[in-house]
Amino acid sequence: MDVVTGTAAGVPFTALPPRTSDVSRQDHAPLIITWHMLDAPRTDAAFAAAFPMAEVPAWRVHLGMPMCGARMPAGGVDEVFALARDDAVSSFLVPFVESAVAEFPAALAAVRAQLPVDDGPVTIVGASLGGAVALQVLADAEIPVHAAVLINPAIRVSSAVPLVEPMAGHRYEWSEQARQRCADLDFVARAPEIAPPPLLIVSGDDDHPEFRADAADLVAALRGQDGDPGRIEQIGVPGLAHPLADEPGMEPAPQRADAHAVDEIVTRWLRRILPVAG
């Protein structure tokens, strides 16, 4: 499979083109943008290998999250862990999401300038904390979105805080500011702000219980306000925990069986949802 790497407005990306047999005109191929997780696979290149969506007739452009991969701070993982120790919410989780959302419009424009893709609504995919990025893009409603996929998503960022505590080395001490910043990234509470396109949530049966509960809550909230609740789908994956790759998850690696199962589910759904290129 051909792989295109580069940067888009300073954001590193790994892009996979559609097969030539899937599109009649390469300059009109649909565009899928993804944001990876902070667990393995935790870089754009590693996520592209774990979740290639090879049978989807579209360009799949995997963006690197801030402070990951090529943008790892000079102090490496230790410097990132120091942010979690300083404040798991205000220095670590929330800045990841806010920075990725803020840089997306310019990165999207740069991707479209570099690759032969169409200029229609984009499809977005987010895994874990990348799911919070995708949900914020939907809530902002500034960029037209054709469809969205969330994989083991962090739907309430507050649910991720206990998972960061082992990295930080101490229990998190909540402040009123931290509670407010997490409330800003509680997409169940903010569901009325989201007018979702077709949306698929893939939850591992062995994912963090809080994440699975939050996913069910979001599905219920969105279906309750949508005129076509069938557009909101949730699929469970037996045996899938939170990560989609083995540690350390920095470099491309052979696709695991559970990641392959997710890939097949999302591929089938996207082949049904995506517009026909041509």
pLDDT digit string (tens) for 28-85?
Answer: 799 999 999 999 999 999 999 999 999 999 999 999 999 999 999 998 888 988 999 9
Q: What CATH class is the domain 4-273? A: alpha beta
Quick count: other Cβ atoms within 10 Å of Cβ 250? Answer: 17
Residue 158's pLDDT band, with cuts at 50, 70 and 90, is: very high
pLDDT (0 to 100) of residue 25: 53
Do 13 and 111 contact (CB within 8 A), yes or no?
yes
Residue 23's pLDDT band, with cuts at 50, 70 and 90, is: low
Residue 274 pLDDT exceeds 80:
yes
User: Which residues lie closer than 8 Å to 112 by C-beta, 6 or more apart?
Assistant: 31, 119
pLDDT digit string (tens) for 113-152?
Answer: 999 999 999 999 999 999 999 999 999 999 999 999 999 9
The model carries a pTM of 0.95
pLDDT (0 to 100) of residue 225: 81
CA distances from 154 to 21, 132, 209, 266, 273 (A): 36, 6, 12, 18, 24
pLDDT (0 to 100) of residue 204: 98
User: Which residues lie closer than 8 Å to 239 by C-beta, 6 or more apart?
Assistant: 204, 205, 206, 258
User: Cα-flanking dihedrals φ and ψ of residue 118, to 5°?
Assistant: -80, 170
Do 53 and 263 contact (CB within 8 A), yes or no?
yes
Residue 224 pLDDT exceeds 90:
no
pLDDT (0 to 100) of residue 173: 95
